[in-house]
Amino acid sequence: MDRKQALKTMAATTLSSVALPQFAKSMNALSDLKGNINHSACQWCYNDIPLEKLCEAAKEMGLKSIDLLNPSQWATAAKYGLTCAMAYASDLGLTKGFNDLSLHEKLIQDYTTNLPKAAEAGLKNVICFSGNAKGLSSEQGLENCAKGLAPVLKVAAKYNITVSMELLNSKVDHKDYQCDHTEWGVKLCEKLGSENFKLLYDIYHMQIMEGDVIATINKYIKNISHFHTGGVPGRHEIDETQELNYPAIMHAIVKTGFKGFVAQEFIPSRQNKLASLQQGVGICDV
């Protein structure tokens, strides 16, 4: 299937016939990005678009990655010259994580199995979660996470993989999630003392929980491996319809010397979802 045929197929499934010519034209305009930001997009935000089509469109837009793919999907991204800059290594989800001692056996097995596969696929970063607190104190949750992650990080070091715990808000989207503040995540980084453990700083989530985004990024950049975006409030497009100044945030990230990825993780509210994605990439391409 050539590019023209692919665009026609995408039009039939996700774009209106009116929007397609504008989308194709704007893709050409963004084909030469500035190169200061490594762009990615989270697959789950485009679940109604087949992964093959999403990868093809992402490649046309200048993205280098599709985030949050499971091991069975990594090869599809690679087929289009894309990596998975933040990959899944377990199927437990985000409410069941390393703060639960009863899940350690399962989690250690999952990561021990999939970290070598990730390395073989050329991937550098896998995601992990604290899980919901379920009555655990912050201190005990931290201890439990460190205990479960310690053996995983030995494997990660062997294969030069970074395991990244995502910071999520517990106020709106993920009630009771334990790793809901940057300082808690940094304490875990310090306790583990491993270069193979860092934080996935989700700008949307941390704006909701603590604000002060740029100052926090500057203070803790050494502990951050990856960024996700999203409009506040509502988690939709990151344009002028929401409160965050994403160009300023991106300039701050670039100024730190960060060389990782920034992935769009907003939920498109418009019919032309790929055009919304492309707009987000353009806003962040500073």
pLDDT tens profile 168-180 = 999 999 999 999 9
In this predicted structure, what is the pLDDT of residue 84? 98
Instruction: Work out the average pLDDT over 94-103.
Output: 98
* DSSP result, the chain: --HHHHHHHHHHHTS-TTHHHHHHHHHHHTSS--SSSEEEEEGGGGTTS-HHHHHHHHHHHT--EEES--GGGHHHHHHTT-B-SSB---SS-SSS-TT-GGGHHHHHHHHHHHHHHHHHTT--EEEE---B-TT--HHHHHHHHHHHHHHHHHHHHHTT-EEEEEP--TTTTSTTBS--SHHHHHHHHHHHT-TTEEEEEEHHHHHHHT--HHHHHHHHGGGEEEEE---TTTS--SSTTSS--HHHHHHHHHHTT--SEEEE-----SS-HHHHHHHHHHHH--
In this predicted structure, what is the pLDDT of residue 31? 56
Rounded to two decimals, the pTM is 0.90
How much is the mean pLDDT over the chain?
A: 92
Q: Where are the domains of the chain?
A: 56-284
In the predicted model, is pLDDT for residue 263 greater than 50? Answer: yes
In this predicted structure, what is the pLDDT of residue 267? 98
Q: Domain spanning 56-284: which CATH class is it, in words?
A: alpha beta
pLDDT tens profile 182-209 = 999 999 999 999 999 999 999 999 999 9
Q: Is the peptide bond between 151 and the residue preceding it cis, with omega within 30 degrees of 0?
A: no
